[in-house]
C-alpha cells in the first residue's frame, strides 16, 4: 500500500518522474522480498516496491557504515508519508490490526468519539484468542490468531461449524511481525514480550491513535481515494490471493527410503526458508544422498513452515533441528545420525 500510494502521489509533490522514484521498504519480514515481485503489486512494468530490506539487514548496514545513533540529531520523518498514528504502530503486534479496525469501527458505527482507545479484549499472549465486542448493540465476534499451525486449527474449527466469526485476524508469524523472520535474531526468552510492549508503549506516546484522525490520510481520501472501496482505493490498496504454496500438501516426499530404521530428513520450503535458499539445499542433499548410495537409508521430504522462520533455513534430521542450515551442517548431522542408527553407508 505504501509503495502504490507513494508512486501515485509523490512524483508530483517531489517533482520527480514516476519511473525515477525508487521505493525501498524496510520490513520485519523476509516474505516481503517475494511479495514485492508479485505482478499484482506493479503498475505495468513498474513495481510498487522496488527493493525490500529486512530490519536485520538495515541494522547490519548501519553498523557497517559506522553510524552511531547516540551521535545523531533526532529528526522527524519526511512528510507526508512519514506521519503516523498509534493505530499503524500497533499493526506489528498480533491483535494490533483488529484493534486499529475497532478504533475506526467503534466511531463509525456508534457515531461518537472513542474516549479510551485501548481494546484489552484483543490483547493477549495467547496464539489463538476470541473476543466479542459490542458495536451499537450488535455483537461482533472476532478471532485473532498467529502462527500458521494455529491458523490451521482455527480454520478447521470454522470449516466444521464449531466456530463462527465476523472478523478474523491472521498473522503468519507467532506474535505477529514483532517475531518476523527478518527481525534481529531472538536470543532472550522475553524479547518478543518486550517488543510487543514497546509497540503498545509507542502508541501511548503518540498524539493520535486512530487512522481516521491522521490528517494526511484524510487528505489522501479527499484528493485521491475519495471514499473507502472507491475504484481508486481498490486499485491502490487492495489485492487478490491465490494458493502460492510451493508444495500442495504439508509434506512432499522427495526420497522415500526402504530401510526399517531409515532416518527422516525434513527441509522447510516455506517462504522465509525458500528466500534463504532452502530449495538449493534440498538439491544438494539429494545429490549427496544419491552419490553416497544412501537412498534406502533416508526419507527426505520438503515441508511447509516449521514456525521457526527467524532461524531459517530450517532442517530436521530425526528429532534434531538445524537452524541457519548449510549443506555442511546437514552432512555433519546426517553422518553422525547414520552412525547412531548403524545404517550401513555403502
Binding site for ligand SF4 (CB under 6 A): 28-29, 31, 171-173, 176-177, 180
| CA distance linking residue 142 with residue 167, whole number of Å | 5
Question: Which string of x and - marks every residue 216-235 that binds ligand FES (by CB under 6 A)?
Answer: --------------------
Q: C-alpha distances in angstroms, 89 versus 55, 86, 93, 177?
A: 15, 5, 9, 11
Helix axis angle, 327-340 relative to 278-291, nearest 10°? 40
Note whether 309 binds ligand FES by CB under 6 A.
Answer: yes
Bridge partners for 51 per DSSP: 24
31 binds, among ligand SF4, ligand FES, none (CB under 5 to 8 A by kind): ligand SF4
* Rounded (10°) CA dihedral 202, 206, 210, 211: -90
Asked if 306 touches ligand FES (CB under 6 A), the answer is yes
Task: Give me the least distance between CB of 38 and ligand SF4, in Å please.
Answer: 14
Residue ranges in 243-282 that form contacts with ligand FES under rule CB under 6 A:
268, 270-273
Say which entry of ligand FES, ligand SF4, none residue 312 contacts (CB below 5 to 8 A, set by partner kind): ligand FES
* Nearer of residues 31 and 133 to ligand FES, judged by Cβ: 31
Stretch that binds ligand FES, among 8-16, 183-191, 279-287, 301-309 (CB under 6 A): 301-309
Which does residue 171 touch among ligand FES, ligand SF4, none (CB within 5 to 8 A, set by kind)? ligand SF4
Quick one: 16 or 60, whose CB is closer to ligand SF4? 60
Which residues are paired to 344 by β-bridges? none
At closest approach, how far in Å is the CB of 203 from ligand FES?
28
Q: Are the beta carbons of 92 and 199 closer than 8 angstroms?
A: yes
First to last CA, the chain: 56
Q: Which residues contact 288 (CB under 8 A, 6 or more apart)?
A: 294, 327, 330, 331, 334
Binding site for ligand FES (CB under 6 A): 268, 270-273, 305-309, 312, 314
Amino acid at each position: 500500500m505504501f509503495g502504490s500510494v507513494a508512486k501515485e502521489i509523490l512524483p508530483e509533490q517531489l517533482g520527480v518522474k514516476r519511473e525515477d522514484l525508487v521505493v525501498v521498504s524496510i520490513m520485519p519480514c523476509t516474505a516481503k522480498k517475494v511479495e514485492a515481485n508479485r505482478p499484482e503489486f506493479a503498475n505495468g512494468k513498474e513495481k510498487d516496491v522496488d527493493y525490500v530490506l529486512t530490519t536485520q539487514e538495515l541494522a547490519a548496514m548501519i553498523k557497517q557504515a559506522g553510524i552511531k545513533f547516540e551521535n545523531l540529531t533526532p529528526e522527524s520523518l519526511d512528510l507526508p508519508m512519514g506521519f503516523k498514528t498509534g493505530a499503524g504502530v500497533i499493526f506489528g503486534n498480533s491483535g494490533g490490526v483488529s484493534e486499529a479496525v475497532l478504533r475506526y469501527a467503534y466511531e463509525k458505527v456508534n457515531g461518537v468519539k472513542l474516549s479510551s482507545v485501548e481494546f484489552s479484549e484483543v490483547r493477549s499472549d495467547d496464539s489463538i484468542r476470541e473476543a466479542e465486542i459490542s458495536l451499537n448493540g450488535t455483537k461482533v465476534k472476532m478471532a485473532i490468531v498467529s502462527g500458521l499451525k494455529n491458523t490451521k486449527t482455527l480454520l478447521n474449527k470454522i470449516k466444521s461449524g464449531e466456530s463462527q466469526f465476523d472478523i478474523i485476524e491472521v498473522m503468519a508469524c507467532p506474535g505477529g511481525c514483532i517475531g518476523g523472520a527478518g527481525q534481529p535474531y531472538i536470543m532472550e526468552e522475553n524479547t518478543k514480550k518486550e517488543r510487543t510492549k514497546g509497540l503498545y508503549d509507542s502508541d501511548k506516546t503518540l498524539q493520535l491513535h486512530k487512522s481516521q484522525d491522521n490528517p494526511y490520510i484524510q487528505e489522501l481520501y479527499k484528493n485521491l481515494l475519495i471514499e473507502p472501496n472507491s475504484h481508486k482505493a481498490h486499485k491502490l490498496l487492495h489485492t487478490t490471493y491465490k494458493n502460492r504454496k510451493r508444495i500442495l500438501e504439508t509434506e512432499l516426499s522427495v526420497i522415500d527410503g526402504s530401510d526399517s530404521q531409515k532416518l527422516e530428513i525434513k527441509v522447510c520450503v516455506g517462504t522465509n526458508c525458500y528466500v534463504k535458499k532452502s530449495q538449493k539445499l534440498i538439491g544438494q542433499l539429494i545429490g549427496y544422498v544419491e552419490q553416497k548410495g544412501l537412498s534406502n537409508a533416508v526419507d527426505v521430504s520438503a515441508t511447509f513452515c516449521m514456525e521457526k522462520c527467524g532461524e531459517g533455513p530450517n532442517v530436521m534430521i530425526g528429532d534434531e533441528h538445524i537452524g541457519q542450515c548449510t549443506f555442511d551442517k546437514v552432512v555433519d548431522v546426517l553422518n553422525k545420525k547414520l552412525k547412531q542408527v548403524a545404517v550401513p553407508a555403502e
